[in-house]
Amino acid sequence: MSAHVLAVLNDPDSGLGRYEAWLTQAGLEVTLQPGSGGLPPNLSGYAGLVMLGGGLMPDDDAKAPWLPDERRLAEAALSQEVPVLGICLGGQLLAMVAGGRVRANHGPIERGATQIHLTEAAEDDDLFGQAPRRFYAIENHRDAITALPPEAVHLAYSRQCPNQAFRLGSAAWGLQFHPEASAENVARWDPAKVRADGFDPDDLLEFARSVEPDSARTCQQIAAAFAGAVRHYAGLPASTSA
């Protein structure tokens, strides 16, 4: 089995961003599959699953008819212990299929570079164990996970959002923040929509650029750690240099 990862694209304006290059550099073969184009019936041939963001709820099947298939893939990954990385919508979907709760338009809107705080449980986590206890990552959400699944390990929070990261089992992670996004993603946001959410687009971009070097370093560490989990599942050395 190769270290082949399926990445589900839930929104054409979303994507793998810098994670496409970082995961490839870490020794993974990545297939980016738009959900609207149809998803495979199972994870045969894949050693990892990445579920990306999008302006949807995890059960918004009328707007996104591929979501039932994506939920089935997430459930299969959990049952087979295939490494999973769910980002924003993907993290919310992972929480939902495992028994957590997600609410639309709940809590403060988070946009731009936001400080993420790790919990004590993150110190022993394979994804976050080498990360600093506080770091910045891009946020862009108005929906939120209001209750983690019963078996989840809580890994991170922000000042305004209590559930920024969690783990299920040994190798399935849900994130609310966007490690794949950089300050240049912020630069492409519609200024009118940013202002409508109560933020100044110039301030968001300036701050995101100011913390970008440290943020990128940590987010690349997270990518490398996920790649290590995928390679381990595939029976390969954890590092391409090993």
Residue 177's Cβ-count burial label (10 Å; 0-12, 13-18, 19+) is buried
Element (H, E) at 23: helix 19-25
- Residue 168: how many other CB atoms lie within 10 Å: 25
10-residue mean pLDDT profile of the chain (242 residues): values are: 89 93 96 97 97 96 97 98 98 98 94 98 97 97 96 97 97 98 96 96 98 97 97 86 43
Among residues 70, 180, 212, 219, the one annotated as catalytic is 180
pLDDT, residue 242, reads 37
Residue 1's Cβ-count burial label (10 Å; 0-12, 13-18, 19+) is: exposed
User: Which pLDDT score, from 0 to 100, does residue 240 have?
Assistant: 63
Nearest CA to 21 among 227, 241, 237, 234? 227
Report d(CA 140, CA 160) in Å as an integer. Answer: 13
Q: Name the catalytic one among 88, 139, 141, 212.
A: 88
Q: Which of 70, 110, 161, 178 is catalytic?
A: 178
Taking the C-alpha atoms of residue 221 and residue 22, their distance in angstroms, rounded to an integer, is: 9
Let me know if 151 is a catalytic residue. no
Q: Catalytic residue at 180?
A: yes
C-alpha to C-alpha distance for 204 and 221, rounded to whole angstroms: 24
CATH architecture of residue range(s) 4-233:
3-Layer(aba) Sandwich (3.40)
Beta bridge partners of 112: 139
Burial (CB count <10 Å: 0-12, 13-18, 19+), residue 169: middle
88 catalytically annotated: yes
Q: Where are the domains of the chain?
A: 4-233
**Residue among 89, 177, 92 nearest 137 (CA):** 177
The Cβ of residue 222 has, within 10 Å, a number of other Cβ atoms equal to 24
